[in-house]
Amino acid sequence: MLTFDSPVFAAYALAASAMVLLAVATAWITVIQMMRHKAGYRAPEDAKKTPLNPVPAEGQVGAFEPVERYRRIMANHLENIPFFLVVGLLFVLTGPGLVLAQWLFYGYAISRIFHFLAYATGQIHDIRATFWTIGSVIIVAMAVIVLMTALSSI
């Protein structure tokens, strides 16, 4: 079942790798924001003069909203994506129908990408919450199916 010849697994692998790239992209944007603004660094040693930081800025270390925004996005990713990645794989092993699996995998990925865009552009909470809820419900649905399948196998 865990082979790229299986359309269900291929759909999972597509959504999963896209989600990993989304999370890594968020980390890179955080880095870019820190470098652009010379602010939002976290460790005391980041205020030191170094080859990559020849002229340290006053207040370079500390909370800075354009960086904090991406840290909040990352925190939100971390509460979601790792669970999708694992429960999605276990869901593949329950042998779901292809159409259902595609709706859940692609629906999750799309909802997460829209959540990212809504958060990054500072949309109102209602919009962000809607996309978050879609993704969260999909994780719950897959987890419940895995749980029921496991219970009926024991």
Q: How far apart are CA 133 and CA 112, in angstroms?
A: 10
Quote the least distance from Cβ 141 to a copy of itself, whole Å.
11
Residue selected from 46, 107, 113, 134 as contacting a copy of itself according to rule CB under 8 A: 46
* C-beta atoms surrounding 29 within 10 Å: 17
Burial of 149 (0-12, 13-18, 19+ CB in 10 A): middle
Site for a copy of itself in 95-124 (CB under 8 A): 119, 122-124
Amino acid present at 62: G
Residue selected from 57, 63, 78, 117 as contacting a copy of itself according to rule CB under 8 A: 78
3-state SS assignment for residue 61: strand
Q: Which of 25, 27, 30 is nearest to 63 (CA)?
A: 30
Residues that bind a copy of itself (CB under 8 A): 1-5, 7, 9-11, 13-14, 16-18, 20-21, 23-24, 27-28, 31, 41-46, 48, 50-53, 65, 69, 72, 74, 78-83, 85-87, 89-90, 93-94, 119, 122-126, 128-129, 136, 139-140, 143-144, 146-147, 149-151, 153-154
